[in-house]
């Protein structure tokens, strides 16, 4: 990846310890893990603590001001410290980091543009492969004739990634990212520029999670460092919505449909369910609460509770959306969950239509009479 041609991207990539450039910077520093708890790294450790506090407190909207030279080591230490924290905050940290990275790439793209070669280098740094759609079109033209290659060039796609890389780094359970909805040519999935940046974002989130998991598996190596800042870590951990809002007694009541239970479990683990999974959970909980004789305003509060564990939880946005689903905003329509058939097609039905109902809402006592549920 040419520093001359891709200078801004190279500087951005070098700030992350899981990229090739970032790893080389850390290796060049020749630092031992045992040194990290020493006086010489106090400033770097302080930066890592401040970074964790910002990521956990502000979530996907977090903004960091890291010195580019220190950034890979600050992040390395931050991930090591995070490995000692409640697992529910890991996903929030990874999600926040991925959004920061994505915004950085998009900013560089807007200001100075990003060439195909730079995009290739960026994907390569994250262990992925990408080619230009023109390159793929040429291959297709050689193998099956020029017409199909020309058709490819008319579409709004700029890049193509191998199917396996796509599957590992595309948003989970999002209907817009289901492989069957994507154009596939010769084992490559076609991507627009926006799609490519979204895949990079997911790749960063996955690599942050992998690094924290790896540190957790070797946590004893970092015990001196962790012990030196244990009180600070506990205080930082406490600002996380995932830790601060413990599951209420009714979050996982007996008798909920498996699709709802699966989303609840993912949220409790600090996960990041798809939009459709969240829609299903929110509408189900709202109807269940109303069936218990409560007012919709009160039901909004109950339906919001499990979402406080989401990696990207935002109180203002979540409340507005749930109030809209409850018919308290907008067109005043009280939404119901998607049908079981639709949920199954999106991969959100754990039993593969084995519950014997047409809609999750029918699990609610007396709900067979609810309009649209039958």
Judge contact between 8 and 108, C-beta under 8 A: yes
Whether residues 163 and 263 fall in one domain: no
Whether residues 68 and 197 fall in one domain: yes
| Number of domains into which the chain is organized | 2
Task: Provide, rounded to the nearest whole percent, the portion of the chain with pLDDT above 70.
Answer: 87
Whether residues 293 and 179 fall in one domain: no
**Distance, CA of 187 to CA of 157 (rounded, Å):** 15
What is the mean pLDDT of the segment spanning 340-367?
79
Whether residues 191 and 284 fall in one domain: no
Q: Minimal CA–CA distance to 277: which of 184, 348, 183?
A: 348
Confidence category of residue 146, pLDDT binned at 50, 70, 90: low
Q: Minimal CA–CA distance to 158: which of 214, 197, 125, 127?
A: 197
Residue 253 included in any domain: no
- 266 by Cβ neighbours in 10 Å (0-12 / 13-18 / 19+) ranks as buried
Q: What pLDDT, in 10s, does the model give residues 176-189?
A: 787 888 888 888 99
Lowest-confidence segment of 12-26, 92-106, 307-321 by average pLDDT: 307-321
Whether residues 348 and 276 fall in one domain: yes
Q: What pLDDT, in 10s, does the model give residues 73-116?
A: 999 999 999 999 988 789 889 999 999 999 999 999 888 888 89
Whether residues 168 and 267 fall in one domain: no
Residue 51 included in any domain: yes
Whether residues 231 and 277 fall in one domain: no
Per-range mean pLDDT, top range of 116-120, 135-139, 291-295? 116-120
Whether residues 307 and 220 fall in one domain: no
Lowest-confidence segment of 75-84, 152-161, 180-189, 289-298 by average pLDDT: 152-161
Residue 345: per-residue pLDDT: 75
Residue 247 included in any domain: no
Residue 289 included in any domain: yes
Is residue 147's pLDDT more than 80? no
Q: Which residue has the higher pLDDT, 288 or 346?
A: 288
Residue 46: per-residue pLDDT: 96
Whether residues 173 and 69 fall in one domain: yes
Whether residues 21 and 89 fall in one domain: yes
Residue-number span of the structural domain to which 95 is assigned: 7-237
What is the mean pLDDT of the segment spanning 314-327?
91
Q: Minimal CA–CA distance to 45: which of 234, 211, 240, 233?
A: 233
Whether residues 146 and 84 fall in one domain: yes
**Distance, CA of 309 to CA of 230 (rounded, Å):** 23
Residue 330 included in any domain: yes
Residue found under tokens 């015990």: 223
What is the mean pLDDT of the segment spanning 349-371?
71
**Distance, CA of 98 to CA of 204 (rounded, Å):** 5
Range 189-200 burial, b when 16+ CB lie within 10 A, else e: bbbeeebbbbbb
Residue 1: per-residue pLDDT: 59
Confidence category of residue 249, pLDDT binned at 50, 70, 90: very low
Residue 370: per-residue pLDDT: 40
Whether residues 75 and 214 fall in one domain: yes
Which of 190, 206, 237 is a domain's end point? Answer: 237
Mean pLDDT computed over every residue of the chain: 85
Residue 367: per-residue pLDDT: 44
Confidence category of residue 256, pLDDT binned at 50, 70, 90: confident
Residue 214 included in any domain: yes
Residue 129 included in any domain: yes
Confidence category of residue 12, pLDDT binned at 50, 70, 90: very high
**Distance, CA of 177 to CA of 79 (rounded, Å):** 29
Residue 246 included in any domain: no
């Amino acid at each position: 990846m040419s520093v001359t041609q891709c200078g801004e991207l190279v500087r951005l990539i070098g700030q992350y310890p899981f990229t090739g450039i970032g790893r080389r910077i850390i290796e060049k520093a020749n630092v031992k893990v045992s040194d990290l708890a020493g006086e010489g790294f106090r400033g770097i450790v302080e930066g890592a603590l401040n970074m964790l506090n910002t990521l956990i407190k502000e979530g996907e909207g977090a903004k960091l001001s890291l010195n580019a030279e220190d950034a890979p080591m600050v992040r390395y230490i931050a991930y090591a410290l995070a490995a000692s924290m409640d697992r529910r905050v890991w996903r929030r940290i990874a999600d926040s980091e991925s959004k920061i990275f994505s915004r950085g790439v998009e900013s560089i793209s807007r200001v100075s543009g990003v060439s195909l070669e730079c995009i290739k280098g960026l994907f390569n740094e994250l262990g992925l492969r990408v080619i230009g759609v023109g390159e793929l079109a040429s291959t297709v033209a050689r193998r099956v004739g020029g017409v199909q290659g020309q058709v490819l060039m008319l579409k709004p796609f700029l890049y193509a990634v191998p199917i396996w890389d796509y599957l590992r780094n595309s948003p989970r359970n999002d209907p817009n990212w289901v492989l069957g909805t994507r154009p596939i040519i010769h084992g490559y999935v076609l991507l627009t520029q926006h799609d490519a940046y979204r895949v990079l974002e997911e790749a960063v989130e996955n690599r942050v999670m992998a690094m924290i998991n790896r540190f957790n598996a070797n946590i004893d190596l970092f015990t001196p460092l962790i012990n030196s800042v244990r009180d600070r870590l506990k205080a930082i951990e406490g600002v996380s919505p995932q830790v601060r809002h413990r599951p209420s007694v009714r979050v996982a009541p007996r008798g909920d449909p498996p699709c709802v239970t699966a989303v609840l479990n993912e949220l409790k683990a600090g996960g990041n369910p798809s939009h459709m999974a969240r829609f299903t959970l929110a509408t189900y909980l709202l109807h269940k609460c109303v069936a218990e004789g409560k007012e919709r305003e009160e039901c909004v509060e109950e339906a919001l509770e499990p979402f406080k564990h989401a990696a990207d939880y935002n109180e203002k946005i979540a409340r507005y959306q749930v109030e809209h689903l409850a018919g308290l905003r907008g067109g005043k329509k009280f939404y119901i969950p998607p049908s079981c058939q639709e949920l199954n097609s999106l991969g959100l039905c754990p039993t593969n239509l084995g519950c014997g109902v047409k809609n999750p809402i029918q699990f609610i006592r007396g709900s067979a009479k609810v309009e649209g549920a039958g």
